[in-house]
Amino acid sequence: MTRLVFRCFYLGVTRYKNILQLQEKLVKWHQSQPEVSTLLLLQHKPVYTIGLRSKLYNETDKDKLELLGADFVKTNRGGLITFHGPGQLVVYPIFSLATANMGVRNYVNSLEEVVISLCKRYDLNGSRSPHTGVWIGNNKICAMGISCQRSVTSHGLALNCNTDMGWFNKIVPCGIHGKGVTSITECTGTEVTVEDVLSQFIQDFSDIFNCETQTLEVLDENLDNSVLAKLITEKDSEGLIKNLVS
């Protein structure tokens, strides 16, 4: 694999739709700049998202979930319904698999390995199953759903740190019956926040992907023009910012 250099940004707690639009624009830009690699780390305001098999959910389902105080968003990622919210570390790697000389299956396996490595830091035995993601016993601690367009990745993973697990009671997470969900906090009995695991995740990501990671930069969650300018190279900033905010 080519040794990549990832720019790392933490965006705080943001609305899912805003980040979805940002990812779409950044993917197009990365397709023309395959040497650039970006790691977006954040938390989402409460939202239920569904993947490509969205026909399984109708307007009644959408209305019921929105009444709980969460958004409901259809996406182009793989996987079925899941929940994102505060207390959950969401990571969106955006980079060229072709530049990294990496296939999709190897990419997903590597993401799972990063989370398994992170779980070991908390004496948790994370494991794989026939279903994508990372599990602690019979309970999923990290959901994954990716997209790859013209070799550039988007979407990614959601690791439950100290998430309010009650949000998952209203759905069948990832469409998997007979399984549960859990969090680092629930498994360890100790409060573990997203901020606690940020640097640990980046270190494990760097080790597993054999890449370099730049110093984590904290950006304003409102995604104004000054923030967007930092997500792209200076020489391309003028034109792309106009597209990102349109």
Query: What angle separates helix 104-120 from helix 194-209, to the nearest 10 degrees?
Result: 130
158: annotated binding-site residue?
A: yes
82: annotated binding-site residue?
A: yes
Percent of all residues in the chain with a pLDDT value above 90, rounded to a whole number:
60
- Residue 63: CB partners within 8 Å, gap ≥ 6? none
Say if pTM beats, i.e. exceeds, 0.85.
yes
40: annotated binding-site residue?
A: no
6: annotated binding-site residue?
A: no
Percent of all residues in the chain with a pLDDT value above 70, rounded to a whole number:
83
Average pLDDT over residues 61-88: 83
Radius of gyration of the chain (CA): 17
Choose, from 8, 174, 187, 211, the residue flagged as catalytic: 174
Domains and CATH numbers, the chain: 5-244 (3.30.930.10)
pLDDT of residue 239: 44
Q: Which of 64-78, 103-117, 162-176 has the highest mean pLDDT?
A: 103-117
Higher pLDDT, 71 or 171: 71
Does the pLDDT of residue 77 top 50, yes or no? yes
User: What would the pLDDT profile of 199-237 be if each residue is shown by its tens digit?
Assistant: 999 999 999 999 999 999 998 777 666 666 777 654 444
Does the pLDDT of residue 82 top 90, yes or no? no
Phi, psi of 78 (to 5 degrees): -80, 165
81: annotated binding-site residue?
A: yes
Higher pLDDT, 238 or 226: 226
Question: Is 174 annotated as catalytic?
Answer: yes
Q: Structure tokens of 227? A: 């923030």
Q: Tell me how far apart the alpha carbons of residues 163 and 168 are, in angstroms, rounded to a whole number.
A: 10
CB contact burial 201-231 (16+ within 10 A = b; e otherwise): bbebbbebbebebeeeeebebebeeebbbeb
Cβ–Cβ < 8 Å for 190, 98: no
pLDDT of residue 27: 93
Does the pLDDT of residue 174 top 60, yes or no? no
- Quick one: which of 75, 39, 25 has its CA closest to 236? 25
pLDDT of residue 208: 98
Residue found under tokens 């830091």? 121
Q: Tell me how far apart the alpha carbons of residues 133 and 223 are, in angstroms, rounded to a whole number.
A: 29
157: annotated binding-site residue?
A: yes
